Chains A and B, each alone.
Chain A
Amino acid sequence: MVKISVLQHAPSSHLPSRPGDPTPTSRNLDPLMHPFAKARERTRALNAAKIERIFAKPFVAALEGHLEAVETMSRRPESLTAIASGSWDGGLVVHDIAERTHLMRVNDAHKGKVTGVCFADEHRLLSCGVDRNVKLWDTREVDENGAGPSEARKPLSIFPGKTAFNSIDHHRSDPVFATASTIVQVWDETKSAPISNLTFPTSTETISAVKFNLAESSVLASIGSDRTFTLYDIRTGKAERRVVMQMRSNALSWSPTFPTSVLLASEDHNLYTFDVRNLSNPSHIYKGHVAAVTSCDWSPTGLEFVSGGWDRTVRIWKEGVGTQPEVYHTKRMQRVTSTLFSADARFVLSGSDDGNLRIWKAKASEKLGIVTTRERAAIEYRDSLREKWKFDPEVGKISRTRHVPKPVHKASQLKRTMLDARRVKEERRRKHTRAGDSKPKAERKRVVVAEQS
């Protein structure tokens, strides 16, 4: 007896049971059922890369309020939106970046430029300037005297110093702050004179920036005009270590997640991270700027950081990836003098020579606003596709290429040529000297000139 069965699809399992129901779908993962799976996935990856570049519109807003270059910025602890900024014209503004309004505005906070601002706590703001004063302000909408945001305010207190201040930073928990002038001074908020002076013996430099460590809050780091990076401990009241580098640093920032990691923005176009346990060489070099890097700031996640440079660009780097940062620029943005990550790590702020404070998205193609689940899934799928196919020449090229202004492009070309030529010259020189006479030195080992303690 021959057994015969003929294929038959039961409509009940493939058609919606009631009108309006979705049609049931069925899957068969046999690769023969999916010809060109790889080629189609590549096409999808290519589209994903293109879509990502199409949606990459990072500029959000420009905040006005200063007449001259924005020298310094600081975010309020425990707040996502409040940002204080100080300018060369002596003005001091606390911005609400969500509302794009001013929470506080003092036009002549200091005579000459405001060189540093930082929040003492939720409502009080410290600022220092070249007029040799540190001032403590109340940032509340209506302070005790009844002065509104735009009226002339009086500082809560003034701490007079002997020399112009370059930077200020507040202790994380104690009512103590540190200032940088020719020496590092530690002040108590309740006393009008510094409680201690910290300086490295034999140092005669000008300190340009000072920052407290975020985890071990009594440790302090400073950079100075003698191309130095110095570590202090305010409990011992001493400078612990000092490093002299090839070029001076312009800004520094402690990593929020790795307490021993510190980021330096150097005059030699590079950024360096140091592990303070081993100061003989930097743990990473970040190359990309084509002019001096003037400012840097870590993201609160510690996975990225932002830097602004003399080349009129803002760059966002991934921790541990030394090349190809995200580059932001606009026609009207001049030399970037200060940069800051927002507290939710979604935005980046840059203050520049043109007196504007600009808000950028930290991820250029991120969508602001409500993202539905389906949209989120699609975005994540596209991201993983780009990641998977990044070694494909076309996909990689699209997602890597950044348009930069012509001067920056030309400068980077020139820089590459010069560096190559220097490298080749060194090679040739080595070739024609006695073997082993001059060994090549890794670039990492060349950064630090001397380590002192």
Chain B
Amino acid sequence: MDSLFAKADAIRPVSKRRKTDKDDRRSKPSGSKQTEGGHDKTLNSVAHHTALPPSLRPSSPPPEGVKKYNHIANPKLRTQLTRQSNLAARQKALLKDAELLLTEDAGMIEVEGELEKTWRVSQSEVTQAAGQEAAKGRKEWVLDGGPYRSRYTRNGRHLAIVGKKGHVATFDWQTGTMHSELQLGETCRDITFLHDHSHYAVAQKKYVFIYDRDGVELHRLKSHIEPTRLEFLPYHWLLASVGNSGWLKYQDTSTGKVVTEHRTKLGACTTMAQNQHNAVIHLGHQNGTVTLWTPNLPHPAVRLLAHLGPVVGLSVDPSTGGRYMATSGQDGSVKVWDCRNWKGAVREWKTRGGGAELEWSQKGVLAVATGGSVNTYAKPAIQASFTGSVQPPLYLTHPIPHRPLVSVRFCPFQDILTVGHAAGLSSILVPGAGEPNFDSTEADPFENKRARREREVKTLLDKIQPDAITLDPEFVGSLAPEPKLTTAVNDKTDLTFARLPRLERLRVSGKADETEDGADAGAAEGSDGEAQPARTSKAEKEKKKMRGKNKSLKRYLRKQRKNVIDPKAVAVREKLEKQRAERKKAIAIARGEAEPRKPSALDRFRRPT
């Protein structure tokens, strides 16, 4: 029997390590001989099955600044969490290394000295300086049939154009291959490609129509009536349209079902943009409001009075993860908004020539088409907060005499800006507008037929459900908030322990992980450094609590629920904070680290504290 135990100790089950380790060393120094022999069958079999695969083996010590989980009592869980955060930190480091593999350089214009201005550079100069391939991007399409709108595919390879009078064409602009050309003979207001260039949707006089690559009409979407603007959400396979009736409609293009219809109640709408990072639809209305819509909310997620007068242009910045939005009003004002905080515009200025079309490029260049010219603005200046309505420093400008300019589109992964106007379309070069390094799994300008088909299937499999669209796209996979409902009254329940919900059972037995809560309380109670032992039950804490030392306020605060903003509690908290600061200052003065404040004559006007 002893030999059996000795054999077991030689292997040492992980959970029992601590106990057996000591026994082993004390009583049987010869016990380790068995393992040295290397012929222990059992050990070998275990080693094979318990070995960590090489890909998961830590090649280096864990990276620094990794979150520690010392407060978690359960060793299994603690190990798992530590491993996870180590893995995440390593991944982050590796991600940084992978930046070395980005080979292509973004375009740019560099000036020497103060006197040179980038906006003085004309298109002919840019074209001359550009390489042979890049110079092909500068184009003029002279077309009849009214002001033209355009749209690129997500990989920037194909272009769809639509004229007001019904001329529709889709083509590969690089090779010049025409896919389809239609004369629809009725008013067409917008066009958009669906998931790739194999399908496109046109907002026509009465309905939205879907055509395939060869221009064959596939569907007439009868529920979208008098559409004015179209947007396609590629990761959700949703075609969103808004029309003269003021209804925003979402149609799932993979199943063909109408997902939701929202009545905006704000009249005809001709301005629409999508935020590529959270798939929220932004609408600009006649009364100057901008509304943000998701399919699962019957009302706008955000409603914002952006302009006095109709909103005519809208765009969301893709280079900052959809953090900034630009709007333009009929009166010619352009405003940049911070989408995290809607308190007033970050920057605003006036343009000449009335309502401006806006578009933000992948790298954060903002194009504003007003009157007879297109202006572009580069990144740090337009997003920096600035009071006063001065135009930000201009990056490039290009005059186009064919008014009105109705659409501006940047070509993804190229330094090209396509402007649609009354006489057709013109493409200009804007160095530094396009993302130089594309990712083949997302959008590849050079993909072949097989890759396109494969990607179509893959994206269909990865289709996100429409109700997952929210303002914060990171909510997926995050922790659910703690339920606020509780059966406890003054921390006491009349339920038996066995009937309590799990969290409360843990709390009663003192096993709930309330460390964050505790840290919060510690901050509120002051930096006196009352380092509580990690795990004391609530009753024990209450028992050991110091009494009669003017802690009624603190007790009051503790009993206030943390997540309820009660003005009284806030005031009390502030007061405590102030008192603590004063105490600290007094101590500093006593030590001679700070100087006492000299009384001044103006003190009589100070508000009594």
Q: A14-B446, A39-B476 are in contact. Are A275 and B16 (CB under 8 A)?
A: yes
Indicate the member of B1, B432, B441, B445 with the most A CB atoms within 10 Å: B1
- Expressed in whole angstroms, the Cα–Cα distance for A7 and B436 within the complex equals 7
Q: A29-B95, A40-B462, A258-B11 are in contact. Are A4 and B1 (CB under 8 A)?
A: no
Whether the Cβ atoms of B476 and A7 lie closer than 8 Å is no
Q: Identify B461's interface contact among A34, A47, A256, CB under 8 A.
A: A47
Which B residues touch A219, using CB under 8 A?
A: 1, 4
- Expressed in whole angstroms, the Cα–Cα distance for A62 and B8 within the complex equals 38
Which A residues touch B497, using CB under 8 A?
A: 427
Which B residues touch A41, using CB under 8 A?
A: 477
Whether the Cβ atoms of A276 and B107 lie closer than 8 Å is no
Whether the Cβ atoms of B110 and A259 lie closer than 8 Å is no
B353 part of interface (Cβ distance < 8 Å): no
Q: Tell me the smallest distance from the CB of B438 to a CB of chain A, in Å.
A: 6
B489 part of interface (Cβ distance < 8 Å): no
B276 part of interface (Cβ distance < 8 Å): yes
Q: A4-B431, A7-B434, A9-B104 are in contact. Are A25 and B444 (CB under 8 A)?
A: yes
Whether the Cβ atoms of A38 and B477 lie closer than 8 Å is yes
Query: Beta-carbon contacts of A316-348 to B below 8 Å, as 1s and 0s?
Result: 000000000000000000000000000000000
- Expressed in whole angstroms, the Cα–Cα distance for A47 and B446 within the complex equals 29
Which A residues touch B13, using CB under 8 A?
A: 258, 261, 275
Query: Beta-carbon contacts of A1-25 to B below 8 Å, as 1s and 0s?
Result: 1111111111101110000000101
Whether the Cβ atoms of B437 and A28 lie closer than 8 Å is yes
Whether the Cβ atoms of B431 and A6 lie closer than 8 Å is yes
Q: A26-B437, A231-B1 are in contact. Are A43 and B104 (CB under 8 A)?
A: no
Which A residues touch B279, using CB under 8 A?
A: 36
Whether the Cβ atoms of B7 and A7 lie closer than 8 Å is no
Q: A32-B319, A44-B461, A275-B16 are in contact. Are A257 and B42 (CB under 8 A)?
A: yes
A389 part of interface (Cβ distance < 8 Å): yes
Whether the Cβ atoms of A427 and B496 lie closer than 8 Å is yes
Interface residues of B in 1-53 (CB under 8 A from A): 1, 3-5, 7-8, 11, 13, 16, 41-42, 45-46, 49
- Expressed in whole angstroms, the Cα–Cα distance for A115 and B505 within the complex equals 48
Which B residues touch A26, using CB under 8 A?
A: 103, 437-440, 444
- Expressed in whole angstroms, the Cα–Cα distance for A424 and B500 within the complex equals 10
Whether the Cβ atoms of B1 and A2 lie closer than 8 Å is no
Q: Tell me the smallest distance from the CB of B401 to a CB of chain A, in Å.
A: 24
Q: Identify A2's interface contact among B111, B133, B444, CB under 8 A.
A: B111
Which A residues touch B432, using CB under 8 A?
A: 7
Whether the Cβ atoms of A260 and B5 lie closer than 8 Å is yes
Give the bracket for the number of chain A residues in contact with chain B: 35 or more
Q: Among B118-126, B239-247, B264-272, which stretch is in contact with chain A?
A: B118-126
- Expressed in whole angstroms, the Cα–Cα distance for A261 and B7 within the complex equals 12
Q: Tell me the smallest distance from the CB of B312 to a CB of chain A, in Å.
A: 27
Q: Identify B4's interface contact among A1, A30, A259, A303, CB under 8 A.
A: A259
The residue of chain B having its C-beta at the shortest distance from the C-beta of A213 within the complex is: B4
Q: Identify A240's interface contact among B1, B235, B477, CB under 8 A.
A: B1
**Interface, chain B (partner A; CB < 8 A):** 1, 3-5, 7-8, 11, 13, 16, 41-42, 45-46, 49, 95, 98-99, 101-112, 116, 118, 121, 125-126, 129-131, 133-135, 137, 235, 276-279, 318-319, 321, 413-415, 429, 431-432, 434-442, 444-448, 451, 461-465, 468, 473-474, 476-477, 496-499
Instruction: Name 20 interchain pairs, CB-CB below 8 A, sorted by A.
Output: A3-B108, A3-B109, A7-B107, A7-B414, A9-B133, A29-B99, A33-B435, A33-B438, A36-B235, A40-B235, A47-B461, A215-B41, A216-B7, A219-B4, A259-B4, A259-B7, A259-B8, A260-B8, A276-B4, A423-B498
The 6 closest A-B pairs by CB, nearest first: A25-B440, A6-B130, A427-B496, A4-B129, A216-B4, A260-B8
Taking A5-B105, A34-B442, A215-B41 as given, write out 19 further A-B residue pairs in contact, using a Cβ cutoff of 8 Å, ordered by the A residue number. A2-B118, A3-B108, A5-B130, A6-B431, A7-B107, A7-B134, A7-B415, A8-B130, A9-B413, A15-B446, A25-B441, A27-B98, A27-B441, A35-B276, A35-B277, A215-B42, A257-B46, A261-B13, A302-B46
